[in-house]
């Protein structure tokens, strides 16, 4: 019997025997913080996820998480908070209507220079260039790279590699890519990559959406050489967010968010800026004694469906 068939049968048995429910009960005192990014026009996959959340979990806001960690009321069993990184406009069009329908609180982490339309996100620029280039191959980073018919995955691989570089070197490599791929980059984000506006954010805030900072320009903070750059990215983004929203922001999300992507300087800047919580992209659940500035999350998108989604939320898989 093929391994895939065996694995599928085992997964089915796990659900039929009630093991998922048992794990959910065992982990009921932990709380989950979900992390989303983009939302497609088809609302049905997200609606299916929200229906499951509403049936088995108790949605809470990040403000409630902060208050609980600060000594306030304990969170309910199977508490779950929803967060969204970056601040793309598709949240307004395709994410918020579904979360609102199911009355699920949401916190959106904004890249403030993106919302200011001073830039568009650098990994999107890579996708745009690889998608529109007429080049069939380039020599980059000492390698011959062939550009496939569907270049999106290749763009993702290149962006992932650039995240490991010091920030100044990443910027230099981006300029090199621009020259090699011979694609004109628009000054502002083109269709499909647009941000929310500040007016959007203020209107959403009146509807109960919380907002936090995701830095000013979304660099990998541990790769910044100058401590003043870290301060500018963290404190500067909070000042801009607070100024535009008219009230203090409480929450921060580390760009990229793995342990390698932030350091002691970053943690100090986040705390000194007055953020009550900060979330990572490290996978896992949190408890009443979790470090408020290194909270774990469950990384998802709307394609995470069926048993995989159910198991991730219960804690059966990463």
At residue 229, the 3 state secondary structure works out as helix
Alpha-carbon span 131 to 151, nearest angstrom: 6
Question: What would the pLDDT profile of 155-164 be if each residue is shown by its tens digit?
Answer: 999 999 999 9
What's the whole-model pTM score? 0.93
Q: What would the mean pLDDT of 73-92 be, rounded to a whole number?
A: 97
| Pairwise pLDDT comparison (8 vs 198), residue with the higher score | 198
Is 70 exceeded by the pLDDT of residue 189?
A: yes
Q: Which of 172-181, 195-204, 274-283, 306-315 is predicted with the least confidence, judged by mean pLDDT? A: 306-315
Is 60 exceeded by the pLDDT of residue 210?
A: yes
Spatial CA neighbour of 83 closest among 221, 254, 223: 254
Q: How far apart are the first and last CA of the chain?
A: 26
Q: pLDDT > 70: what percent of the chain?
A: 94
Alpha-carbon span 131 to 145, nearest angstrom: 14
Alpha-carbon span 245 to 196, nearest angstrom: 13
> Is the Cα dihedral 171, 175, 180, 184 positive or negative?
positive
CA angle 161, 165, 167 (to 5 degrees): 125
**pLDDT the model gives residue 179:** 94
Alpha-carbon span 218 to 143, nearest angstrom: 27
Cα 241 to Cα 211, 220, 281: the distances in Å are 8, 20, 22
Domains and CATH numbers, the chain: 29-118+192-314 (3.20.20.370), 122-181 (no CATH)
Q: What would the mean pLDDT of 193-205 be, rounded to a whole number?
A: 98
Q: Are 147 and 136 in contact (CB under 8 A)?
A: yes
Token reading at 138: 């380039």
Spatial CA neighbour of 20 closest among 44, 51, 56, 47: 56
Q: What would the mean pLDDT of 47-57 be, rounded to a whole number?
A: 97
Res. 141 pLDDT band, cuts 50 70 90: confident
At residue 312, the 3 state secondary structure works out as helix
Res. 16 pLDDT band, cuts 50 70 90: low
**pLDDT the model gives residue 6:** 44
| Pairwise pLDDT comparison (23 vs 119), residue with the higher score | 119
Q: pLDDT > 90: what percent of the chain?
A: 86
| Pairwise pLDDT comparison (190 vs 5), residue with the higher score | 190
């Amino acid at each position: 019997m093929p391994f895939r068939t065996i694995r599928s049968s085992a997964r089915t048995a796990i659900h039929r025997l009630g093991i998922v429910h048992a794990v959910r009960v065992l982990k009921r005192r932990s709380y989950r913080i979900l992390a989303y990014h983009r939302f497609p026009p088809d609302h049905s996959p997200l609606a299916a996820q929200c229906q499951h959340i509403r049936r088995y979990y108790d949605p809470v806001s990040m403000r409630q998480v902060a208050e609980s960690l600060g000594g306030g009321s304990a969170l309910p069993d199977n508490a779950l908070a929803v967060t969204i990184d970056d601040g793309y406009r598709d949240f307004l069009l395709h994410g918020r209507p579904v979360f609102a329908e199911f009355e699920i609180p949401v916190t959106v982490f904004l890249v403030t220079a993106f919302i200011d339309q001073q830039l568009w996100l650098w990994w999107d620029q890579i996708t745009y260039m690889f998608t529109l280039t007429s080049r069939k191959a380039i020599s980059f980073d000492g390698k011959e790279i062939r550009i496939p018919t569907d270049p999106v995955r290749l763009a993702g691989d290149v962006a992932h590699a650039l995240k490991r570089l010091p920030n100044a070197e990443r910027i230099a490599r981006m300029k090199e890519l621009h020259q090699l791929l011979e694609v004109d980059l628009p000054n502002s984000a083109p269709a499909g990559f647009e941000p929310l506006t500040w007016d959007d954010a203020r209107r959403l805030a009146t509807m109960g959406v919380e907002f936090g900072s995701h830095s000013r320009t979304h660099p990998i903070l541990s790769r910044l050489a100058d401590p003043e750059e870290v301060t500018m990215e963290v404190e500067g983004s909070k000042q801009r967010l607070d100024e535009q929203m008219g009230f203090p922001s409480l929450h921060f999300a580390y760009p990229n968010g793995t342990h390698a992507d932030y350091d002691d300087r970053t943690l100090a800047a986040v705390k000194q800026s007055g953020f009550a919580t900060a979330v990572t992209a490290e996978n896992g659940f949190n408890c009443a004694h979790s470090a408020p500035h290194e909270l774990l999350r469950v990384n998802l998108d709307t394609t995470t469906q069926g048993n995989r989604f159910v198991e991730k939320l219960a804690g059966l898989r990463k």
